[in-house]
Amino acid sequence: MKKPLSILLGVLILLICVVALGAAYVNFAPIPKHEAQAPELRIEADSAMIARGERLVSLSCALCHVGKKGRAMEGGPWREKDLGALYVANLTRHPESAASRYTDGEMALLLRTGIKQNGEMALTMPRYAHLSDRDLQSIIAFLRSDSPLTAPSDKTWPERELNMLGKVLTRVAIKPLQYNSNVADPDFADPVAHGRYLAHNLACYHCHSADFATVNEWEPEKSEGYFGGGNGIVRKESPEKIPSTNLTPHPTNGLGRYAMAQFGDAVRYGKRNDGSTLDHSMPRFTNLNDEEVGALWAYLQTIPALE
Ligand code: HEC
Ligand code: HEC
């Protein structure tokens, strides 16, 4: 009777030691680094590219990298604390800013794969694997150009401090995406193709699918519950997460409740179909033009309806 018990106890103690050692290792070992060659990039920017870059940045990067409303993209503490203390970087043209520290090739590598200049993975920032080469270069060209969004700011932020979950995830779960090259523009004349391009590159499906943990950035349509909503989004005001909504063409639970014009008001101005205001965890994509809203709408009608 006594023997099996002591064996069990021994095994248990051993197990506890292994777990404790593992935890100590993950906690104190350096964050893993990824080797990747930044591409050689020579961007020959023209004014059309800079204008295009400005629209894309204001629809994407600026939503997170503008520190205070109406200011330049000077960054600041990131609102989500799940993985530790993160700081959105200063993307202004100040010579010491993060954006200035990056070469064009390093910036392209970060945006496509998630690998930072120091080899570590950036957390929570979306990857732009399916942005066309031209759009990717337009974004980088815009970051180097003169605009209120890039007006030099000398703000600096501390190094991020990952908690245990952040450290575990960077070790086991968060891996670089492949560097996608030679990505062509979509057929902008085809609303469905254009809408799919926007829905993927503006990361709508990250929030509007089932869970951030099962978002598939390489093959977005394979994300669990693609556009069915339900993912819990962190909000500034309260610890309770707010669920994202179903944007599939389901007649009663999805976009069937919306007309196209109402959809445009929701996406651009945060107006729900009953006139009330959407929570601020839903970004305001104010700069989307009518053609782009129509394209998003057309694309969302083509995906399988979910309850
Ligand atoms: C959803 C919010 C979000 C969006 C959109 C976003 N970022 Fe970020 N960005 C972050 C966060 C959070 C970090 C800090 C990540 C970390 O430290 O792990 C970051 C970090 C960075 C860094 C610094 C990396 C380093 O070496 O520390 C650069 C450069 C950057 N972002 C550029 C961009 C550009 C360019 C865009 C648009 C194409 C963009 N970001 C879009 C949230 C975002
Ligand atoms: C950062 C997460 C996030 C991103 C990115 C995001 N959404 Fe949302 N969205 C939400 C949340 C959360 C709600 C629900 C807000 C509420 O209920 O008050 C919402 C609500 C909506 C609604 C209202 C739907 C309804 O059922 O009332 C529409 C339409 C919408 N989003 C479209 C989009 C589109 C299109 C994109 C991409 C261009 C997008 N969203 C990107 C989080 C997000």
When mean pLDDT is compared across 157-166, 221-230, 238-247, the lowest value belongs to: 238-247
Nearest CA to ligand 2 atom 26: 245
Q: Is 142 in the pocket of ligand 1 (CB under 6 A)?
A: no
Around Cβ 258, how many Cβ atoms within 10 Å? 18
Site to probe by mutation for ligand 1, drawn from 52, 88, 169, 235 as the one with most ligand atoms within 8 Å of Cβ, is: 88
Residues above pLDDT 70, as percent of the chain: 99
Q: For ligand 2, what atom is nearest to the CA of residue 263?
A: 29
Q: Is 244 in the pocket of ligand 2 (CB under 6 A)?
A: yes
How large is the average pLDDT for residues 225-239? 86
Asked if residues 202 and 56 have their Cβ atoms less than 8 Å apart, the reply is no
pLDDT of amino acid 241: 86
CA 47 – ligand 1 centroid, Å: 25
pLDDT of amino acid 215: 96
Average predicted confidence (pLDDT) for the chain: 94
Residue 25 and residue 156: Cα distance in Å, rounded? 30
pLDDT over threshold 80, residue 236: no
pLDDT of amino acid 12: 86
Q: For ligand 1, what atom is nearest to the CA of residue 128?
A: 38
How large is the average pLDDT for residues 268-276? 95
pLDDT over threshold 90, residue 31: no
CA 171 – ligand 1 centroid, Å: 20
Ligand in nearest proximity to the CA of 259: 2
pLDDT of amino acid 22: 80
Q: Tens digits of per-residue pLDDT, 70-106?
A: 889 999 999 888 899 999 999 999 999 999 999 999 9
Q: Is 64 in the pocket of ligand 2 (CB under 6 A)?
A: no
Compute CA 184 distance to the chain's CA centroid, rounded to the nearest angstrom: 21
CA 277 – ligand 1 centroid, Å: 28
Q: Is 72 in the pocket of ligand 2 (CB under 6 A)?
A: no
Alpha carbons within 13 angstroms on the beta-carbon side of residue 184 total 4
Residue 75 and residue 98: Cα distance in Å, rounded? 10
Q: Tens digits of per-residue pLDDT, 148-166?
A: 999 999 999 999 999 999 9
Q: Is 160 in the pocket of ligand 1 (CB under 6 A)?
A: yes
pLDDT of amino acid 2: 66
pLDDT of amino acid 1: 53
CA distances to 52, 78, 112, 225, 276 from 204, in Å: 20, 19, 17, 13, 21
How large is the average pLDDT for residues 101-112? 97
